[in-house]
């Protein structure tokens, strides 16, 4: 069989790397013996990708990373700064949620332990924040809503031990909410 192609000479390191990757992927049929040039790699139908090419974590644009920064995740300082700001703000919100959860759970527990627990949930926290927990308490115990609440109160990069501590606090708080709702319904009847 006769093959016609333009021959491009590359460094030995480049040739060896391409050959090794093609052999590992099972493309032995891409190698052809040539009397003049030795073993050639027929690249028809194959495309090469720059190993430095990355997708920006923020804007998803394709960019070529700088050689001295292999772990570069962003295409520009603007994307990097923006993403870190959002992540930092989100971490602050999660820390505030954790602090609020501990404070409100303690306050609810005190109200439930007192004699007047009819309105235990009244003015406990902002409506939207508390409503998420009330809806989760009314649902199944191992619901997705429960895990979302754990996530809302867990900062990025925290240990599994801390996550377990948050999970325990959320479970206790949801149990107290169920108890408060039960008392509230008994007083309504």
Distance CA 32, CA 1 (A): 10
Residue 26: left if φ>0, alpha if ψ -120 to 50, beta else—which one? left
Question: Does the pLDDT value for residue 6 go beyond 80?
Answer: no
pTM tops 0.95, yes or no: no
Looking at residue 127, its pLDDT comes to 74
Distance CA 39, CA 118 (A): 86
pLDDT digits (tens, 9 = 90+) for 51-79: 667 777 778 787 766 544 545 777 777 77
More confident residue, 172 or 76: 172
Question: Residue 60 in contact with residue 79, Cβ under 8 Å?
Answer: no
DSSP of 42-111: --TT-----TTEEE-TTT--EEEPPTT-TT---SSHHHHHHHHHHHHHHHHHHHHHHHHHHHHHHHHHHH
Q: How many CB atoms lie within 10 A of CB 106?
A: 12
Range 47-51, long-range pairs (CB < 8 A, 24+ positions): 48/18
Helix (H, G, I), strand (E, B), or coil: what is residue 33?
strand
pLDDT digits (tens, 9 = 90+) for 113-150: 876 666 777 777 777 888 888 888 888 877 788 888 88
Question: Residue 133 in contact with residue 177, Cβ under 8 Å?
Answer: yes
Distance CA 80, CA 11 (A): 36
- Which of the given ranges, 39-43, 87-91, 100-104, has the highest pLDDT on average? 100-104
Distance CA 112, CA 180 (A): 7
Looking at residue 115, its pLDDT comes to 66
pLDDT digits (tens, 9 = 90+) for 11-38: 888 888 888 888 888 888 888 887 777 8
């Amino acid at each position: 069989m006769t093959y016609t192609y333009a021959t491009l000479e590359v460094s030995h390191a480049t040739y060896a790397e391409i050959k090794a990757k093609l052999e590992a992927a099972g493309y032995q049929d891409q190698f052809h013996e040539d009397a003049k040039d030795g073993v050639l790699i027929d690249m028809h139908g194959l495309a090469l990708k720059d190993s430095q090419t990355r997708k920006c974590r923020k804007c998803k644009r394709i960019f070529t990373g700088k050689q001295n920064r292999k772990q570069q995740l962003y295409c520009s300082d603007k994307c990097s700064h923006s993403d870190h700001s959002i992540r930092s703000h989100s971490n602050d919100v999660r820390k505030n949620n954790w602090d609020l959860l501990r404070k409100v759970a303690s306050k609810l527990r005190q109200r439930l332990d007192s004699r007047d627990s009819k309105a235990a949930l009244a003015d406990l926290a902002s409506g939207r924040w508390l409503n998420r927990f009330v809806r989760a308490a009314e649902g199944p115990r191992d619901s997705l809503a429960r895990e979302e609440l754990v996530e809302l109160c867990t900062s990025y990069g925290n240990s599994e031990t801390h996550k377990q501590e948050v999970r325990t606090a959320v479970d206790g708080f949801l149990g107290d909410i169920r108890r408060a709702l039960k008392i509230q319904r008994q007083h309504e009847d």
